[in-house]
């Protein structure tokens, strides 16, 4: 189970321009199949492979070198319900996604957890949280759903594997993944 509130690793930069700069620069579109990545993470959790967080390699290596940013989004404990104070952060992300430099791109919203609790639960919770952020961006901020995909990785891609329960592992990543025709 995750502790409340769930602050994430990094603050959203102060300006839309700094967000745009972090997300711009995709050179080649990676070959990502989000459904297959979800299945791969689930199979790894169920197989109990790499049970110790320190020994777990990233499950989605392809995203590590893509343009991205971490956002601090708070959720209710053990829930995909976004806390009201986080809507400002999500609004800033939406502003960046509307910037002319980023309009031709698609993005992947990745939610991660720490290693507190059961791996399978964390994987499911992180998917629900990624879906919740996508839903807010689509319904509240009117970002085209064609530009956004959501992926929960639970504790399968820790930012700080040496400290698997560290708050820095509770993060939301916005990753540039595609040039939209």
Cβ proximity of 129 and 80 under 8 Å = yes
The reported pLDDT for the residue numbered 43 is 83
Question: What's the structural domain count of the chain?
Answer: 1
The reported pLDDT for the residue numbered 124 is 93
Q: How far, in Å, CA of 120 to CA of 171, rounded?
A: 17
The reported pLDDT for the residue numbered 8 is 41
Question: Which residue is it, tokens 């956002």?
Answer: 71
Is the residue at 165 inside a domain? Answer: yes
Specify the CATH number for the domain of residue 89. 3.30.1330.60
pLDDT < 50 regions, the chain = 1-12
The reported pLDDT for the residue numbered 51 is 64
Task: Give the global pTM.
Answer: 0.84
Q: How far, in Å, CA of 167 to CA of 49, rounded?
A: 24
The reported pLDDT for the residue numbered 150 is 97
Cβ proximity of 141 and 91 under 8 Å = yes
Is the residue at 11 inside a domain? Answer: no
User: Within 13 Å and on the Cβ side, how many CA atoms surround 138?
Assistant: 16
Interval 35-58: pLDDT, tens: 888 888 888 888 766 666 656 677
Is the residue at 6 inside a domain? Answer: no
Is the residue at 31 inside a domain? Answer: no
The reported pLDDT for the residue numbered 54 is 58
Domain ranges, residue 142: 16-24+36-105+113-179
Is the residue at 1 inside a domain? Answer: no
Is the residue at 3 inside a domain? Answer: no
Tokens at residue 89, please? 């952060």
Tell me the CA distances in angstroms from 141 to 26, 36, 93, one per residue in order: 23, 28, 10
The reported pLDDT for the residue numbered 103 is 96
């Amino acid at each position: 189970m995750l502790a409340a509130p769930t602050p994430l690793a990094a603050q959203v930069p102060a300006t839309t321009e700094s967000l745009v700069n972090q997300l711009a620069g995709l050179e080649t579109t990676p070959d990502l199949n989000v459904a297959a990545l979800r299945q791969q993470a689930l199979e790894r959790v169920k197989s109990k492979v790499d049970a110790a967080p320190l020994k777990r390699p990233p499950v989605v290596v392809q995203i590590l070198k893509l343009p991205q940013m971490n956002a601090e989004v708070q959720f209710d404990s053990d829930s995909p319900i976004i806390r009201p104070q986080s809507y400002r952060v999500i609004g800033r992300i939406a502003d960046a996604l509307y910037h002319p430099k980023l309009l031709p791109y698609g993005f992947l919203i990745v939610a991660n957890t720490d290693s507190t609790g059961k791996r399978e639960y964390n994987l499911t919770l992180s998917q629900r949280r990624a879906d919740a952020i996508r839903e807010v961006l689509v319904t509240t901020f009117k970002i085209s759903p064609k530009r956004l995909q959501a992926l929960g990785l639970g504790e399968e891609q820790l930012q700080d594997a040496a400290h698997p329960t560290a708050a820095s592992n509770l993060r939301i990543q916005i990753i540039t993944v595609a040039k939209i025709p």
